Structure 1
Amino acid sequence: MVTQFKIFPIPINCPGEKENQLNQFLSSHKIISINREFINDNGKAYICFEVEYITDKQQAENTSKTTENKKSIIDYKEILSHDDFSLYLQLKAWRKSINDDTKIPLYAIFNNEQLAKICQLRPQTKESLKKIDGVGDGKIEKYADAVLKIVSNYSSTNKKIDKTDTQKQTKE
Structure 2
Amino acid sequence: MQIKVYTIPLSNNDSAIAECNAFLRSVRVLALHREFVNTGPHSFWSVFVEYLDDNAPANKKNKKAVDYKEVLSESDFEIFSRLRVKRKELAEREGVPIYLVFTNEQLAGIVTKQIKTIKELENLDGVGKNKADKWGEILDIVSTEDK
Q: Is TM more than 0.5 here?
A: yes
2:106 maps to 114
Q: Pick from 79, 87, 90: which aligns with 1:95?
A: 87
Measured after TM superposition, the shift of residue 148 of structure 1 is 2.2
- What's the TM-score, normalizing by structure 1? 0.48
Q: Pick from 130, 135, 142: which aligns with 1:151?
A: 142
Measured after TM superposition, the shift of residue 130 of structure 1 is 1.4
1:84-122 deviations in Å (ceiling 9; x for gaps): 110110010001111222211111100110000001112
1:46 maps to none
Measured after TM superposition, the shift of residue 69 of structure 1 is 3.6
One-letter amino acid of the counterpart of residue 98, structure 1: L
List alignment gaps of at least 5 residues for structure 2: 1-54
Measured after TM superposition, the shift of residue 141 of structure 1 is 1.4
* RMSD value, Cα: 2.1
Give the 3-state SS of the residue equivalent to 1:143 in structure 2.
helix
2:41 maps to none
Task: From the superposition, tell whether residues 141 and 71 of structure 1 become closer, same or farther in structure 2 (CA, over 3 Å).
Answer: closer
How many aligned residue pairs are there? 91
Q: Bigger radius of gyration, 1 or 2?
A: 1
- What's the TM-score, normalizing by structure 2? 0.56
Show structure 1 runs of 4+ deviating over 2 A. Answer: 68-71
